[in-house]
Amino acid sequence: MASGSPSNWRRELKFRTSQRIRKIRHWLVARLAIGLMTVLRLLPADKALNFTDRMARRIGPLTSRHRLTLDNLAHAYPEKSPTELETIALDMWGNMARLGAEYIFLDKLFDLDPWSGKPGRIEVSPESIALFQRIAQEDKPHIIFTGHLGNFELLPVAAASFGMKVTALFRPPNNPYIADYIQSMRSSNMGALLPSLSGASFALASILDQGGNVGVLVDQKFTKGVETQFFSRICQSNPLLGMLARHYECDVYPARCIRLPNNRFRLEIEEKLDLPRGPNGNVDVRATTQLVTDVVERWVRENPGQWMWFHKRWQISKHRRRFRA
């Protein structure tokens, strides 16, 4: 059938109409979200964060994602009662709401001054301080990984305060207007940021090739990725960290943020991992991907209400691809 046929024209019109509707919907949602953030900015930080937590605990259970959350939790913790799972789910909604609101208060929340001796909202153990400083002083590339726990956005800010330059890989929100707003908020408080779009792996490789440091999130679903076990269930994980570590023989460090009561945070960086290797001595990419997944699971088990259980982490692609190391 010719390209100018009525059926093709109707399909094209339908596609363009749906794109316009989607763009309008994104714009409206973004205006609402940005307006809410603007109002919250008028409040003291603690009151604004506590308010968003309370609202999220009421609104979250009304969404379809709450059902997905409870289903994921039931698979992860078969020994827990429905009441216990509901409590974790509510904690998760509160954590996610606080995370969103904290974007607009980063300048007020981040008060880390490890040499002052004065307690603040941010605490870092002497062991973690020593590791941050050691990495900053080493003239070689490093990979620091984390998961969506607590306010993970504070980690690159902390790294910068210790003189460590880190380029953080992040996944922009699907809504382009919200993505632009958040990007502007993040850029003023953090080091270099790299969207996880096409070509991001080459950009990270270039940074490591120049002896730089990169930060990556490793707990998201990666379509056609390496099959790993997470809470005893198969999921697909991004093998990029293992591939980069093998190619550049760089040290890999786990780091995380733990949310504490009263809008406080503990930042931790752990000793570098002993990466598994194959018969030829090279880093085993598949085993390394499982290792970092195990680290994230340990963190989540310690603070289950601080992880995003509404994510489709265990959804498997119908068109599986065999990974070749």
Q: How far is CA 144 from the centre of its chain?
A: 13
Backbone phi and psi for residue 194, each to the nearest 5 degrees, phi listed first: -130, 115
Q: Both ends of the chain: CA-CA distance in Å?
A: 45
Predicted model pTM: 0.85
CA–CA separation, 19 and 14 (whole Å): 9
Mean pLDDT by runs of 10 across the 325 residues of the chain is 64 74 79 78 90 95 96 97 98 94 83 75 92 93 95 88 80 69 60 62 83 91 91 95 94 97 95 96 96 98 97 82 58
Which residue, 174, 167, 147, 163, is CA-closest to 230? 147
Alpha helices in 120-239 (DSSP H): 126-137, 154-161, 176-187, 200-209
Tell me the C-alpha to C-alpha distance, in Å, between residue 145 and each of 23, 142, 296, 313: 33, 10, 10, 18
Which residue, 183, 166, 288, 301, is CA-closest to 231? 301
What are the sequence ranges of the domains in the chain? 111-306
Q: 5-51: per-residue pLDDT in tens?
A: 777 777 777 767 777 887 788 788 777 777 777 788 888 999 999 99
Q: 172-185: per-residue pLDDT in tens?
A: 666 777 667 666 66
